[in-house]
Structure 1
């Protein structure tokens, strides 16, 4: 009878320990050691949050790290890479990067260059086999232009206003990782209604854009030996706008576009409560051995 009771105690303790392991919630890791680099390392802006507004703050490493701690449910400020893309004389051969560690792995997020878009030969023709054409065809569909505006016509108009370089300066608002699946999610701050931004630039063509159409800027991500171009055509409302300070327009940063990478799950570290549960199991076995010795 005594042995049966001991087995029951041991079984229950082991069940508790295993249950704790099975039901432990997935943790979310964030980017650490954030640093700015690239061939145009000084060309970035940092936006923090004040109330419901994003506001420019000093370009310091402390501020860069601080504003990256949000999530899709609660976006915060952001870091804009290659911030001068809208200025005349912009050098489209250089980039700005945001690098750091997440889940023990290195990750680098970068603005795009002309070569990224158009290839080494810088082929800006519609129909060329390059990323610019792949992306723009999706952009055209999202913009909802009438069919009598051909893709080639829209492509050339977009190229003419510097649309590709304007889409090359991603605003990174967060970089998070699911510690169980390894998935890395990156928030890109942008316009919730992109027609507000492009309609004035495209003139009569701009008036034909679908109201409320959405498209993020593009970020170049290098992680675990692989480089991808990440972007989205679907946003959630961020609850924020760039509506305070110099350069504020009351519309930027209103949308949160989330993109993702299939990441490497970090090495699991048990929760303190799980460790205590396992120690309890070990304690039962120790007690059992002591009782067995005492009965000899």
Structure 2
């Protein structure tokens, strides 16, 4: 075989080997969704007879409904199928569809989470468990430290611009209280954050990245600060608190007990009676015109003149009606979040904080949460439109890489061995030539 033919064969062999490596399944992207989903409560399997404490938000199988009264005036599709407490089939469908806005809330019966409610599932050959977060999960301080650090990293810049007492700022105050805040959350947890809404779970077989989508509020400002400039006055009656009023009557009731007739004082026959007014439709002096008189409806209910009308909100930029249910219970941290929310709102910036999910994957416990959201394109159908413009409008994505030093699959190794063998052959040939 001539040297020219050998070179052609070697080149062809390398090309074939490289082509084999490039097309082998070892290098293909594989995005896996959960299968074999089993709902659990404190590691005990739930069934239709033993329903899990979950609820699912999805779309009714009918013509889509849209609503533009939410945050930003965006026309979003309404999650109008929401009465699904304990429904395992609908929950499974929401977790496995291609829409992260359809979601399942874990521990849906209240804000104080007392049970680990969640599910296990297969992600290819791996198993995952996702659960609600209880007070016990905060106890060792790991979650508290991580969450507070993430919160500071996300909003430290904004907090540094909020002046506080003695020439300090909110970031400095937050840092000086960091240890005590960790201690508080470790002891008490964060009750409003432990009932996450899970919108989607995927595992990338190629990159080894686990991704969990949490559904929440695109902007949480209104959950802490009353951002409504006007409100609907729903009071049918109001208490009249005026001690006096201005008498604007042009005529009055005849209150004279006696009158003078032909120079004599006699009883007034029209005392306290209505009589034809000789100056009807004429202007006459009113003895109490523009004077203060006793208000006959003082401290009594009277018809409200602005009933069902928009009026200025007297609580504008005060504490939101939802503040209590979203608070941590720690005066310092709640004041930080309140002032941060107010500042973000006034600067037209969103306040984004997700709920928290407990994740067990590869025998490792992690906590999924995020401080960045994108618009879900959806909105909850069961929200209170008077006070809530943001339920289910945000998707918070948490990603964790489980990539380790990879070992090539056999198909890849064969290709590499072929190329490596050629390199050895070529090296030997060069040696023989050099020593001739």
User: Same-fold call, TM > 0.5?
Assistant: yes
Q: 1:22 to 1:141 in 2, by over 3 A?
A: closer
The equivalences for 1:1-296 within 5 A come to 7=9, 11=13, 14-21=17-24, 25-39=28-42, 42-49=52-59, 51=64, 52-55=77-80, 56=82, 58=84, 59-69=86-96, 75-86=100-111, 90=112, 92-119=113-140, 129=141, 131-132=143-144, 134-136=146-148, 138-139=150-151, 142=154, 144=158, 146-148=162-164, 150-151=173-174, 164-199=190-225, 200=320, 201-202=322-323, 205=335, 206=338, 209=341, 210-211=344-345, 212-242=350-380, 244-245=381-382, 249-263=388-402
Structure 2: runs of 5+ lacking an equivalent: 47-51, 65-76, 165-169, 226-319, 325-333, 416-436
Is contact 2:354-2:370 (8 Å) kept? yes
Distance in 2 between the 1:165 and 1:267 partners? 43
In the TM superposition, what is the alpha-carbon distance from 1:24 to its structure 2 partner?
Answer: 5.7
* TM-score (ref. length: structure 1): 0.68
Q: Distance in 1 between matches of 2:139 and 2:210?
A: 27
Instruction: Please say if residues 101 and 392 of structure 2, whose CA atoms lie closer than 8 Å, have aligned partners that are also in contact.
Output: no
Maintained 8 Å contact 1:189/1:255: yes
User: CA, structure 1 residues 109+147, in 2 after alignment: closer, same or farther (shift >3 Å)?
Assistant: farther
C-alpha distance in 1 between matches for 2:11 and 2:145? 66
CA distance in 2, matches of 1:18, 1:268: 10
- Rounded Cα–Cα distance in structure 1 between residues aligned with 2:218 and 2:372: 9
User: Could you say if the C-alpha distance between residues 99 and 7 of structure 1 is closer, same or farther in structure 2, counting changes exceeding 3 Å?
Assistant: same
Query: Per the alignment, do residues 17 and 178 of structure 1 end up closer, same or farther by CA in structure 2, a change over 3 Å counting?
Result: same
In the alignment, is the contact (CA less than 8 A) between 2:134 and 2:189 conserved in 1?
A: no
| RMSD between aligned residues | 4.2
Whether contact under 8 Å (1:70, 1:173) holds in the other structure is no
Quick one: structure 1 residues 202 and 48, their matched pair in 2 at CA, closer, same or farther if it must change by over 3 Å?
Answer: closer
| CA shift in 2, pair 1:23/1:111, >3 Å | closer
Task: Report which stretch shifted further, 245-254 or 44-53.
Answer: 245-254
- Report the structure number with the largest CA radius of gyration: 2
Could you tell me which runs of 5 or more consecutive residues in structure 1 were left unpaired when the two chains were aligned.
Answer: 120-128, 271-277, 279-296
Change (3 A) 1:60 1:268: farther
- Supply the distance in 2 between the matched residues of 1:191 and 1:38 (Cα, whole angstroms): 26
Q: State how far apart, in whole Å, the 1-side matches of 2:136 and 2:196 are.
A: 17
Task: Tell me which residue corresponds to 2:327.
Answer: none
1: CA distance between counterparts of 2:368 and 2:163? 27
